[in-house]
Structure 1
């Protein structure tokens, strides 16, 4: 599956401006952004997927455009897909901040 280059560029720009040491990696047909070896977010098709603190998952799924992260018929806990059409700048910023916060306490891989 291809990924939306425009959305990927928008994510890149935010990570550069935030002075984060993110690494890009193509995996599973998506472009993923990693911190210390942990996947934080990615772009798959026209959508963004983000890591979410499991305690915040229900609230995250209640947001416009959010849906459970499903792969190969299984729902992955702690992950959310966000529809590209709702990702205005402020919304994208909020999702990326939540993803980085959810990943900050994870050990390096």
Structure 2
């Protein structure tokens, strides 16, 4: 897998107004972490957004959206978006993801572990 630099740039632009955003290599691409929580990732496989279980049905009803499957297991609350993604659609997906992620309590810098599984 590889980082889709054009998609990563669109995600950066969509998150430009957010403070406390970090970029981390993850999921075979580049993850974007907001207040200590992964909000999105970009790779050559498309855009991954964390919408939470409450927003999952709404997200999956949108064109190009698919359940996130990792190692044969569906990851609840995460949606993979494939197909043509322009700046406007990326912004829309990031707004949806931020609605959920911004409800989570901020983690302290360095908090979390690669071994810890997402529970939301």
TM-score by length of 2: 0.81
Alignment check: 8 A CA contact 1:48 1:84 kept: no
Matches within 5 A, 1:13-24: 13-16=13-16, 18-24=17-23
Q: Map Cα deviations across residues 70-91 of structure 1 (whole Å, 9 max, x no partner).
A: 1000000000000141x22222
Unpaired stretches in structure 1, ≥5 consecutive residues: none
Q: CA deviation at 1:66?
A: 0.2
User: Is it true that 1:81 corresponds to 2:80 in the alignment?
Assistant: yes
Say which structure is richer in helix.
1
Match of 2:39 in 1: 40
Unpaired stretches in structure 2, ≥5 consecutive residues: 108-120
Q: State the distance in 2 between where 1:33 and 1:15 align.
A: 9
Q: How many residues align?
A: 107
Alignment check: 8 A CA contact 1:51 1:102 kept: yes
